[in-house]
Amino acid sequence: MTDALKRLSDEGVAIWLDDLSRKRITSGNLAELIDQQHVVGVTTNPSIFQKAISEGDGYDTQLTELAARRVTVEEAIRMITTADVRDAADILRPVFDRTEGQDGRVSIEVDPRLAHNTTATIAEAKQLAWLVDRPNTLIKIPATEAGLPAITETIGRGISVNVTLIFSLARYRAVMDAYLAGLEKAKAAGLDLSKIHSVASFFVSRVDTEIDKRLDALGTDEAKAARGKAALANARLAYEAYEEVFSSDRWAALDRAQANKQRPLWASTGVKDPAYKATLYVDELVAPNTVNTMPEATLDATADSGRITGDTVRGTYDQARADLEAVEKLGISYDEVVQLLEDEGVEKFEGAWTDLLKSTEAELKRLAPSEG
């Protein structure tokens, strides 16, 4: 059942699970996915935690203890989420050791309400790294304008980072620049660059969702022919940019200092349109030294019906450019779409965080001990 997943791993694609919950940890399910499904990492986000905590009773014991201590709702959320990340990191520690720190990673996101505040993002990244206190943690920082200098500063302090919410090629280049600048700061400070890792989470399916909607509104034959191509084209051109930056003279100097390349991570790889094959954003984004973080449904679909036929990225760049140009010629602005997606991405995570605050606050009140 896992042949396709093994082939994917053999092609240099690290398989990370885009989900985490206490039940997944305590039931042994995460350990099973690592053992049987070639999962070598975990990513989380505010939406994932909001869903996990609002479903079932897996958090009742900890919530009862937190309620007894009368902690604030924000402190409660950080205690709960960092506990899950710490436990998942411990389960993945053998993978981390075996891959010399490349995989076996668990990502946790800074408070999304800080997405446009550089100073607060840096402080939050330091706090999260301290709270989780595991070497195989990645702190997720959004690739907003304010996030870029926070990435540089956080990397410069030796904290490994998962840069999230990347939609545009221009922003992706800025992210890689921020990473290299951070490594240069770390090197100047005498830190061991071999211990610093990073991935750049380039979002995929949402690009097709937004552009396909606009193509459907046009309704022409040319518009229909362009459906379902923009997201793959965008991601493939991101890989071209990755190859360019990490073969530059600037990178060579850091490479000599034992730095690690910032791997492209394909995020949002579950298809949103039922007309598309469930494994579209897995089968068609196979390239060395990448990560594909999948919801469990996509992981299962890949195990069942994935067609892993080797590298499906390199050698496609001219066609990818043509596919994006075809969309532009139809009057759909690439720049407008990717900015909209970034704005919506931040808003979505802020909304999930607000929902998490509300539901956790209600649970703390329900479980609070009576006075006296």
Which two tokens mark 360?
A: 């956790």
The number of beta carbons lying within 10 Å of the beta carbon of residue 9 is 17
Residue 256 carries which side chain, given as an amino acid letter? R
Secondary element (H or E) of residue 359: helix 334-367
Would you call 139 helix, strand, or coil by DSSP?
A: strand
DSSP letter string over 83-148?
Answer: HHHHHHHHHHHHHHHHTTTSSSEEEEEPPGGGTT-HHHHHHHHHHHHHHH--TTEEEEEE-STTHH
CA atoms of 350 and 115, how far apart (whole Å): 9
- Cα distances (angstroms) measured from residue 178 to each of 173, 181, 343: 9, 5, 20
Report residue 220: phi and psi, to 5°.
-80, 165
**Considering all CA atoms of the chain, what is the largest pairwise distance in Å, rounded to the nearest integer?**
73
Is residue 126 annotated as a catalytic residue, yes or no? no
370 DSSP assignment? P
Nearest CA to 56 out of 24, 90, 88 is that of 24
Partnered with residue 16 across adjacent β-strands are 41, 293
CA atoms of 273 and 276, how far apart (whole Å): 6
Nearest CA to 198 out of 128, 264, 113 is that of 264
- Cα distances (angstroms) measured from residue 252 to each of 129, 156, 261, 290, 365: 29, 18, 11, 20, 56
Nearest CA to 350 out of 212, 165, 223, 216 is that of 165
- Cα distances (angstroms) measured from residue 329 to each of 9, 219, 222, 226, 365: 38, 14, 10, 11, 56
Would you call 196 helix, strand, or coil by DSSP?
A: coil
- Cα distances (angstroms) measured from residue 237 to each of 53, 145, 256, 265: 37, 21, 27, 13
The one catalytic residue in 23, 51, 126, 140 is 140
Residues with a catalytic annotation lie at 140
